[in-house]
Structure 1
Amino acid sequence: MKSKTTLIGSISLFVCFLFATTSFAQLNTPRGSQKASVSQTVGISEVSVTYSRPSVNGREIWGKLVPYGMNNFGFGTAKLSPWRAGANENTVITFTHDATVGGKPIKAGTYGLHMELKESGDVTIIFSSNSTAWGSYFYEPSEDVLRVNVSSKEIPHVELLTYNFISVDANSATLALQWGKKEIPFKVGFDVTNIVLADIRKKMQDQPGFNRQTWEQAANYALNNGGDLNEALKWVDGAIAGQFFSKQTFANTQIKAAILMKQNKKTEALAAMDAVLPTATVFEIHQYGRQLIGQGMNDKALEVFKYNAKKNKGTWPVHYGLARAYSAKGDHKSAAKHLKKALANAPNAASKGRVQANLDKANKGESIN
């Protein structure tokens, strides 16, 4: 009898323990406000937001469900809390590189995102170093990293709370919270050029640095995006001679010449190009001549096009190039003469059509460039 009693007691204890344990279990069931994330690349940087999406569901949102100002929600350690800018856990925002929000700097990292709304329509966006707390119940002002004041806008109804990137350009993106009939936008910016150049310097110390094209790409990026021209020249010189798989080509010499031109070293730039003209194809020389016309160096362009015609006699598009050079110098009669020759050896109907259109312009005394 005693043994039976002990067994019953053990079973009862196990059942009690089972219920006690399962009462604290976290089951994976659907939430009322589903979790979502959105991200946007700017240059090589990324800004992303993870949040939960409540619906309006016929409720009055602004000033009611989401109260204005700072409030005591009656839970947690916060005396006064802003809105969590979503539902459930902290809404969090991540910047992969140092950024600006509303023109103010913020370091790369992940932050808790909160908002203090005012009845006037103004909103203070709050970035907190605490990104793991539940909602705003444990908000602590001393953990604020950045506060940015913005203005909300009225929009057509949006049922589910949504974060959207409503505009993107080369250096920034505007992120907006949209819910009900309110939109709260704020602009995130990155110093794209310096971020990219820093990444290039780092990668050139690793495996990509053992590739000539890497050095050419680095120099070309710095040239065209406001980088240090001396550094760009060093990189392209590394591609041309003496480093790893370096080799001088017409293409990388063009990059070097463009850097020298930007440094007001015109004589050096033209000399560098003259040295590689014998290695260039008929089309490379043609494009170089057109580039010279675009830079206003019409005499040099004519010299280059004449060289192309001599080196690649009778081939397409040497006469077309000469026609462009003469047109740039205002000699429309000579331009028409070479356009007629170009028409005869144009390789296809599309090319013939373009030459004929320019021949018509030259016969009228109009520029074809």
Structure 2
Amino acid sequence: MKSTITSFVMCLLLCVSSTVFAQLNTPRGSQMASVMQRVGTTDITITYSRPSVNDREVWGKLVPYGMNNLGFGTAETSPWRAGANENTTITFTHDAKVEGKDIAAGTYGLHINVKDENNATIILSKDKDAWGSYFYDPANDALRADVKLEDINHTELLTYDFAEVTANSATAALKWEKKAIPFKIEVDVAEIVMDDIRAQFKGQKGFTRQNWEQAANFALNNGGDLDEALSWVNAALEGQFFSQKTFNGLAIKAQILQKKGDMEGFRKTMDEAVTMANPNQINRIGYAMIAAKDFDRAIKYLSMNVESDPKNANWHDSLGEAYKAKGENKTAIKHFKKSLALDPPANVKANSEKNLKELGAM
């Protein structure tokens, strides 16, 4: 019996011990948060905990200036953890630049050395898993960048946001109390997308014509290699089992040739494209020819729409612009007046009237 009681007591003690030391999921004083911004195809994510001001003096007090001995951990001196609780982290899904300095794709501990009320240094550490800045080691620094603090309206909860976003960059900012600490992140969107396209073309996505057209169009409009773009659109048009000549493919090819300075190839390809075009597409390439100052081709293309649909006010208005651009004002006036006689929609009416006034015919 004694053995049985002893066994029971030991079992009870083990159960009690497990219960005592089990971790309960209770709310924190500084709640966890995360903010993400996409730039091109690159995701930038900051994960942090959000302390409140709570009537405390923050800068220079709660957040002491400079590097400090925090009295715990292995660091002799530490920057601020840029939040509360665990490491604040920042993740880049592709290589990027922070304040003009290269940073490789990955996740980093985000620390800030707040030097004074106007100056700070952003520190990205390869040690992303440490608690706060207690174990900060400068040997793990991946990047340091000096930035300026800015004055802002009162922000009670520490907040990261991306206030400024462009096609190739985003400015992240830590905001707390009456100060903001912004830092600019830049991404080479075109090169990242082009590298991704090249990789995807080795797989299933390389067997679809539309993907080759899309890739060529992206390179054309985003500073890509024009020779590579031309090879991509040519693959979409002919020579592959998925190839097919389409207006869209020919129009992209024409624009690439134009950008390369091959005007003969541009015009020849546009001549082929117009044979596959619907009226709206014909109208667009007519204006493209006006922009290229090939007024005879513009008139030839836009006349096709007028001949097929002579009661369409928009087609007369467009053809009038081609004749006006060429300097044949008498014929231009005729088509603008014809446009107005066909009860045009408001935008077409306004354009025809504007051109007639410019030509002194109203």
The TM tier, using the shorter chain, reads over 0.9
The structural deviation recorded for 1:154 is 1.6
Separation in 1, partners of 2:116, 2:302: 70
CA 1:21–1:360 in structure 2 vs 1: closer, same or farther (change >3 Å)? closer
Aligned ranges 1:141-290 → 2 under 5 Å: 141-290=138-287
Partner residue, 2:37: 40
| Aligned-partner SS, 2:195 | helix
Separation in 1, partners of 2:296, 2:286: 10
Separation in 2, partners of 1:163, 1:354: 44
The 8 Å contact of residues 333 and 363 in structure 1, kept in 2 or not, is answered as no
The structural deviation recorded for 1:211 is 1.3
CA 1:269–1:180 in structure 2 vs 1: closer, same or farther (change >3 Å)? same
Equivalent of 1:20, from 17, 20, 33? 17
Confirm whether residue 338 of structure 1 aligns to residue 335 of structure 2: yes
| Larger displacement relative to structure 2 (328-337 or 162-171) | 328-337
The 8 Å contact of residues 361 and 367 in structure 1, kept in 2 or not, is answered as no
CA 1:337–1:94 in structure 2 vs 1: closer, same or farther (change >3 Å)? same
Confirm whether residue 291 of structure 1 aligns to residue 263 of structure 2: no
Partner residue, 1:59: 56
Confirm whether residue 314 of structure 1 aligns to residue 310 of structure 2: yes
| Aligned-partner SS, 1:260 | helix
Separation in 1, partners of 2:272, 2:224: 26
| Larger displacement relative to structure 2 (327-336 or 148-157) | 327-336
The structural deviation recorded for 1:104 is 0.3
The structural deviation recorded for 1:343 is 3.9
The structural deviation recorded for 1:16 is 3.0
The structural deviation recorded for 1:12 is 3.3
CA 1:245–1:365 in structure 2 vs 1: closer, same or farther (change >3 Å)? same
Separation in 2, partners of 1:341, 1:57: 72
| Larger displacement relative to structure 2 (168-177 or 203-212) | 203-212
CA 1:120–1:58 in structure 2 vs 1: closer, same or farther (change >3 Å)? closer
After superposition, the C-alpha distances for 1:157-195 in whole angstroms (9 at most, x for unaligned) are 111111111111111101111111111110111001101
TM-score, normalised via structure 1 length: 0.91
Q: What CA RMSD, in Å, does the superposition of the two structures yield over aligned residues?
A: 2.0
The structural deviation recorded for 1:267 is 0.6
The 8 Å contact of residues 327 and 367 in structure 1, kept in 2 or not, is answered as no
The structural deviation recorded for 1:234 is 0.3
Partner residue, 1:74: 71
TM-score, normalised via structure 2 length: 0.93
Identity over aligned residues, as a percent? 52
Unaligned runs of 5+ in 2: none
Partner residue, 2:96: 99
The 8 Å contact of residues 330 and 367 in structure 1, kept in 2 or not, is answered as no
Confirm whether residue 139 of structure 1 aligns to residue 99 of structure 2: no
Separation in 2, partners of 1:206, 1:169: 31
Separation in 1, partners of 2:189, 2:131: 34
| Larger displacement relative to structure 2 (316-325 or 177-186) | 316-325
Confirm whether residue 88 of structure 1 aligns to residue 85 of structure 2: yes
| Larger displacement relative to structure 2 (149-158 or 335-344) | 335-344
CA 1:147–1:302 in structure 2 vs 1: closer, same or farther (change >3 Å)? same
The 8 Å contact of residues 339 and 355 in structure 1, kept in 2 or not, is answered as no
The structural deviation recorded for 1:285 is 1.7
Unaligned runs of 5+ in 1: none
Separation in 2, partners of 1:335, 1:221: 36
CA 1:86–1:78 in structure 2 vs 1: closer, same or farther (change >3 Å)? same
